[in-house]
Amino acid sequence: MELTALSVADLQQKLRNKEVSPVEVLQGLESRIAQVDPAIRGYLSRDFEAALKLAETADVSLPLGGVPIAIKDVINVNGEPCTAASKILQGYRSNYDATVIRKLRAAGAIPFGRCNLDEFAMGSSTENSAFGHTRNPWDTSRIPGGSSGGSAAVVAANEAFAALGSDTGGSIRQPAALCGCVGLKPTYGRVSRFGLIAFASSLDQIGPFTKTVRDAGLLLNAISGRDPQDSTSLAEPVPDYTAQLGRDLKGVKLGMPREYFIDGIDPQVDAAVRAAVRHYESLGAEIVEISLPNTEHAVGVYYIIATAEASANLARFDGVRYGHRAEGATGLLDHYGRTRAEGFGPEVKRRIILGTYVLSSGYYDAFYLRAQKVRTLIRRDFTAAFEKVDAIIGPTSPEVAFKAGDRSDDPLKMYLADIFTIAANLAGICGLSLPCGFASLDGKRLPIGLQLLGKPFEEANLLRIAHAYEQSTEWHREQSPI
């Protein structure tokens, strides 16, 4: 197996056995990126020289010592660009580390490379980036998912050993499913959001993309925990997320929501997920049919709450203190208008306008307040379900990766790509996607993702359930053809 195809756990072993040095790892990674990234376009920028200096002094005895980790370009890394894939932040360089970056450094990891995304994390295909589209390593005519499409694509193409992304409505799990890797959205409050450029503050959560479930646990070990700089991070105990891996599933109950197995799912996705459910039964898990009755309202509720929060959060990008500044403005209001018109892309403008509308006088109660009430009902659905089951199982996405450009003119159809992932963000629970098969389209094999949703702050149990499936199947060993 080539060096860059190794999992984080296997790479750690080689580093500690001195079979390879952190410098050699970084050089091998840079060579792989030069070979395949022109076709994938998963990275927006890289600073090889800065990373090389860190590799030269890396302590491989640390939990992630000497392991390079790719970073979605919406998370601040000191001295590096942080553009959120938007022209309005073109040229900006961060002057501080996000808390997750500081924690990665403390664990010995080397933050390396800035990954492409949908502008300000708004999208499901990574086609909304101001700096070019990322492509799927399994078929470069198709999208990698979004908004963390760059992070998923570089892991799937062996251009990264692991990566960080952010998940607001499925932006880790959906691209992980479409690219055939593991993507974990932690419970809201489990991981600090300090240093993450905010899209929707009550929904955003940082999490890892990895090649295996064990690797997801290793990264979660490093980035979890209470942070005084983020008032929404919670002082919950942080266990060793790899400690339960390998335990059997006897007595585990998995809920199958009838609302997640509906007409309109790609038949090949439906078949693969149902086969995974049967496999779990063979492993000793009990399958229980459940209902999440408010699922049908999740997309509508999400696009009210998320856009309202985006309208408030993106008001800070005005060209006064940093980022793009329009020329020729005749006054302050003209400056704001020109700067934001030039700096923001069409999807970001669409969501700001929608969010401003639902927060406006006369519409707040009719839209925003009502959406918050339905959000409570969605959360209660999960609370009731978790009284009966240990985790929930279903498809991550209703379909496999679609062709680039197929949905650019149909925002509503694009929004529905996240129909099975959005509710977890509204409820604040943890969720994970892992490979469970392939569909065959146009002569290509395209990954299918299995989604597991867990109780709040029970990521360790979720990882244990995912690991049991992963290690008893071969899907995670498949390599993209690029």
Q: Which domain holds residue 63?
A: 1-227+253-482
Task: Classify residue 270: in a domain, yes or no.
Answer: yes
Distance between CA 29 and CA 40 in Å, rounded?
15
Task: Classify residue 464: in a domain, yes or no.
Answer: yes
Task: Classify residue 415: in a domain, yes or no.
Answer: yes
Task: Classify residue 109: in a domain, yes or no.
Answer: yes
Tens-place pLDDT, residues 423-451: 999 999 999 999 999 999 999 999 999 99
Mean pLDDT, the chain, rounded, equals 97
Taking 70 as the pLDDT cut, the residues of the chain under it are 1
Determine which one of 171, 224, 233, 433 is catalytic. 171
Provide the residue type at 349 as one letter. Answer: K
Q: What is the pLDDT of residue 417?
A: 84
CATH of the domain at 114: 3.90.1300.10
This prediction has a pTM of 0.97
Residue 171 falls in the annotated catalytic set:
yes
C-alpha dist (Å) from residue 18 to 11, 222, 336 = 11, 23, 55
What whole-number percentage of the chain has pLDDT above 70? 100
Please, is 342 exposed, middle or buried when counting C-beta atoms within 10 Å of its C-beta (0-12, 13-18, 19+)? middle
What's the domain count of the chain? 1
Task: Classify residue 457: in a domain, yes or no.
Answer: yes
Determine which one of 7, 86, 129, 147 is catalytic. 147
What whole-number percentage of the chain has pLDDT above 90? 96
Task: Classify residue 10: in a domain, yes or no.
Answer: yes
Residue 397 falls in the annotated catalytic set:
no
Q: CA angle at residue 14 from 12 to 17, to 5 degrees?
A: 105
Determine which one of 7, 72, 311, 397 is catalytic. 72
Task: Classify residue 444: in a domain, yes or no.
Answer: yes
* Positive or negative: CA dihedral 175, 178, 179, 180: positive
Residue 14 falls in the annotated catalytic set:
no
Task: Classify residue 300: in a domain, yes or no.
Answer: yes
Residue with tokens 């295909």: 125
